[in-house]
Amino acid sequence: MSSSGGIQIPGRLPLLLTQEGVLLPGSTMRLSVDTPRNMQLVRSRLLRGTSLKSTIIGVIPNTRDPEHEADELPTLHSIGTAGLAVQVVGSNWPKPHYTLLITGVCRFRVSSLLKQRPFALAEVEQLDKLEELTSTEEVTAEDGELQELSQRFYQAALQVLDAVSLEERFKKTLPLLTRQIEGLKLLQKTRSPRPDDEKRVTFSSCAVFPGRQFSLDEEGEDEDGDDTAALERKVHRANMPEAALKVCVKELKRLKKMPQSMPEYALTRNYLDLMVELPWSKSTKDCLDIQAARILLDNDHYAMDKLKRRVLEYLAVRQLKASLKGPILCFVGPPGVGKTSVGRSIARTLGREFHRIALGGVCDQSDIRGHRRTYVGSMPGRIINGLKTVGVNNPVFLLDEVDKLGKSLQGDPAAALLEVLDPEQNHSFTDHYLNVAFDLSQVLFIATANTTATIPPALLDRMEVLQVPGYTQEEKVEIAHRHLIPNQLEQHGLTPQQLQIPQDSTQEVITRYTREAGVRSLERKIGAICRAVAVKVAEGQKEEEVKRDDARQHGPAPSSPHCL
């Protein structure tokens, strides 16, 4: 097999006919053999031969071996590949056959067919010089690329096989590579960009041909890789303090090493999502116009001069000093006097976000400070959840019914509020779920209560208590005509022309039908009058004026003076 011109293959080679694929020099492929001539070739040459020469056979592509041995051979493909049989495996199920592992050596051209039985034998002409194929990396790399193509493009590989010269092979291969590059560009346009990702894209056999679909297989990367990278960018853009940033970076490193199937993966991911959503440095600009604030407060609420004066004082101090801690106010008064609604008006006056936290009946300190992440189903407390909801770090928080906090085996929520409502401590409030400090010094806390008797002294000492007394009869009349009657008319679909309530009738309703410090009962009585008038309007009466004499007709029975 050797000569002065280089390594040579035998001049006569037994031929293995196949339509399964194209064997190219330098590539390896498996072939299934179950036809008579090919089976006889394996038995006679590969299984009985003892020399290296007997393991070299010629593989002819695009040629079918007849089912019966008596049939004539079809026209052979002119170019074939000499291959070295590396492995032969036989099996009798479902029918006798052999599986060959063949490595391509070089190309040859069939000069003449010498015999057809018991297997095909032909005289061949070697086309490649083996010393050139094995001495340079460029040619080996070229054949490796051609082997990649041979697994995907059967017809294209035949054309490459038939190209004898290197220049002609490049001409056949370059259009295929160009189409594959165009397919990659099209794929990148249809997918969202993934920075810092290295991908290996594998196309199916119909990827680069027009009119056919292609598939994509990515190794080592998935959708979670992109989510983690996006989450890392959000962490660095959140402008959080250095201590919180260190914790987030540490958790990110742990997250990247975890498989998604781990239960701790979801916990860590939820924690990081919360950290990037918190308003570490986002705030709203306060509206410091005292005149506009006075007009807005007067339009929203009648009386309450003490509360309005305290808000205007806060605005005045803010004009003189920008870095002012949020005050801790506590409105104490009977039900129905507007403590909750005035808190909402204060937020509108300042131009801040408003969030209400109902504390009535809360008996678990975890509602305030959150659960530790070691527990299943842990979540942050109401303070941190409220900050996440409003999206700024200087909202108005209304702690409603602070005097109705409970106490249980789960802890005392009133004791947990001590840190929240202490101006000297809330700049570093630590929620159990976050486990890092969050600055609450810019939050304006307003607590409401009906009495101070049930508020713990330590908590009461941290708040500025503002008493909200009940309304006088004159104030109730004014509130009814400014706010309550227009609201009830709108809710019941009536117009001011259809129902007119004089002030003396309102005074009669207040005196005989409501006996309270607030105006909730008065609003319900006005609603009863509106419903009675709505019945008459629906029956065809155009206008109704309620007078003192028939106020009793539209309203329920007078209240007993002893109901207080």
Asked if the structure places residue 413 within a domain, the reply is yes
Same domain flag for 24 and 73: yes
Same domain flag for 254 and 296: no
Same domain flag for 228 and 297: no
Task: Yes or no: say if 444 and 394 are a contact pair by the CB < 8 Å rule.
Answer: yes
Q: How far is CA 118 from the centre of its chain?
A: 67
Same domain flag for 331 and 421: yes
- Tokens at 352, concatenated: 């801040």
Q: What is the CATH number of the domain that holds 324?
A: 3.40.50.300
Asked if the structure places residue 310 within a domain, the reply is yes
Q: How many helices (H) and strands (E) does the chain have?
A: 20, 19
Asked if the structure places residue 478 within a domain, the reply is yes
Asked if the structure places residue 206 within a domain, the reply is no
Same domain flag for 459 and 511: no
Same domain flag for 269 and 362: no
Asked if the structure places residue 263 within a domain, the reply is yes
Same domain flag for 308 and 242: no
pLDDT per residue over 166-216, tens digit each? Answer: 788 788 888 878 887 887 887 777 665 544 444 444 333 333 334 444 343
- Residue 495 — φ and ψ, nearest 5°? -110, 160
Of 133, 151, 169, which closes a domain?
Answer: 151
Of 441, 467, 493, which closes a domain?
Answer: 467
Same domain flag for 458 and 528: no
Task: Yes or no: say if 501 and 526 are a contact pair by the CB < 8 Å rule.
Answer: yes
Same domain flag for 414 and 268: no
SS3 320: helix
* Nearest alpha-carbon partner for 124 in 62, 75, 77, 85: 77
Same domain flag for 460 and 477: no
Same domain flag for 370 and 516: no
- Tokens at 11, concatenated: 């001049």
Euclidean distance between CA atoms 271 and 378, whole angstroms = 10
Task: Yes or no: say if 114 and 122 are a contact pair by the CB < 8 Å rule.
Answer: yes
Asked if the structure places residue 440 within a domain, the reply is yes
Euclidean distance between CA atoms 483 and 146, whole angstroms = 85
Task: Yes or no: say if 531 and 559 are a contact pair by the CB < 8 Å rule.
Answer: no
Euclidean distance between CA atoms 91 and 27, whole angstroms = 25
Same domain flag for 33 and 120: yes
Task: Yes or no: say if 120 and 14 are a contact pair by the CB < 8 Å rule.
Answer: yes
Euclidean distance between CA atoms 157 and 205, whole angstroms = 12
Question: What is residue 44's DSSP assignment?
Answer: I
Asked if the structure places residue 208 within a domain, the reply is no
**E strands, 74-206, where?**
79-91, 97-115, 121-126, 201-203
Euclidean distance between CA atoms 192 and 181, whole angstroms = 18
- The whole domain housing 48 covers 2-151
Q: What is the CATH number of the domain that holds 481?
A: 1.10.8.60
Asked if the structure places residue 159 within a domain, the reply is no
Place of tokens 């919360």: 274
pLDDT tens per residue, the chain (564 residues)?
544 456 788 899 999 999 888 888 888 999 999 998 999 999 988 888 778 788 899 999 988 888 888 888 888 999 999 999 989 998 888 888 999 999 998 999 999 999 988 899 999 999 887 654 443 333 344 444 444 444 455 677 777 778 777 788 788 888 878 887 887 887 777 665 544 444 444 333 333 334 444 343 343 444 455 688 899 999 999 999 999 999 999 999 999 988 888 888 889 999 999 999 999 999 999 898 999 999 999 999 998 899 999 999 999 998 898 888 888 999 999 999 999 999 999 999 999 999 999 999 899 999 999 999 988 889 999 999 999 999 999 999 999 999 999 888 888 999 999 999 998 888 999 999 999 999 999 999 999 999 999 999 999 999 999 999 999 999 999 999 999 999 999 999 999 988 999 999 999 999 998 889 999 999 999 999 999 999 988 888 665 666 555 555 555 555 543 332
- Tokens at 555, concatenated: 């309203």
Q: What is the CATH number of the domain that holds 80?
A: 2.30.130.40
**Amino acid, single-letter form, for residue 426:** N
Euclidean distance between CA atoms 459 and 290, whole angstroms = 31
Task: Yes or no: say if 337 and 470 are a contact pair by the CB < 8 Å rule.
Answer: yes
pLDDT per residue over 61-73, tens digit each? Answer: 988 888 888 888 8
Of 467, 495, 530, which closes a domain?
Answer: 467
Euclidean distance between CA atoms 100 and 42, whole angstroms = 9
Euclidean distance between CA atoms 515 and 336, whole angstroms = 12
- Give the number of domains in the chain: 4
